[in-house]
Structures are given as C-alpha cells and as structure tokens.
C-alpha cells in the first residue's frame, strides 16, 4: 500500500497516500499543526509575539480535549512496542528500567 513512500516520510505524506484521505469527512477530523494545508480541523497557532483571542483559545482547548485520548492511545502502543522488542541496553540498567516501567504502570492504573 505504501511501497513508494520512504520510512522517514512525514505523517501528512502517508495520510495523503492512504485510503483514509478519500474516506474521511475532513470537516469532522482533527489533526495537529503538522497537518497545515489540509482541510482538517487544527488548533490555531499563536502569532509570533502575540496572543490568541478568547474564542480561538476555547477552540484549541476543545481540540486538545478531543485529541488527548488518541495521543494517549498512541503513547500506550509505543510503550508496549518498547517492551516487545529485544533489550539492547547494558544489563546493569535493566533493574532500574523495570522499576520505572512498573511505577508508570501503577500510576496509569490509579490515574
């Protein structure tokens, strides 16, 4: 499906070459500032040396509220991908890393 796209391609390039690009109703799709120039809803950039007006700040807050669960899901998938790959660090660090992972998991369960 993405044979002609290099591994380092930007998300927007991959998105434009995917079937999602034609399938989605772009008016009901949110994306980050990396998707500028596309017809999807994005947060407003703060002008250089400026400030957003109250309506745009509220809109950015709504977009962040909607995108947060997706960002957490992506982070969660990356977290498990790290655990699924072969451990390549020095073994002296393994115990500390396992403690950190266990602590993060407990924090996630109580959050």
At 29 the pLDDT is 78
Whole-number Å distance between alpha carbons of 32 and 64: 9
Tally: H helices and E strands in the chain: 4, 0
Whole-number Å distance between alpha carbons of 70 and 56: 22
**pLDDT digit string (tens) for the chain, length 111 residues:** 455 677 777 777 877 788 777 777 666 778 777 777 667 778 888 888 889 999 999 999 998 898 888 888 878 777 777 666 777 777 778 788 888 888 888 887 776
At 1 the pLDDT is 47
At 41 the pLDDT is 79
- Encode 44-67: b = buried (16+ Cβ within 10 Å), e = exposed: eeeeeeeeeeeeeeebbeebeeee
């Amino acid at each position: 499906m993405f044979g002609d796209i290099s591994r380092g391609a930007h998300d927007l390039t991959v998105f434009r070459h995917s079937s999602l690009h034609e399938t989605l109703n772009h008016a009901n799709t949110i994306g980050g500032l990396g998707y500028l120039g596309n017809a999807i809803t994005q947060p407003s950039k703060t002008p250089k040396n400026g400030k957003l007006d109250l309506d745009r700040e509220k809109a950015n807050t709504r977009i962040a509220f909607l995108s947060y669960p997706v960002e957490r899901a992506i982070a969660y998938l990356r977290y498990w991908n790290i655990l699924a790959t072969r451990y390549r660090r020095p073994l002296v660090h393994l115990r500390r890393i396992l403690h950190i992972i266990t602590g993060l998991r407990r924090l996630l369960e109580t959050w």
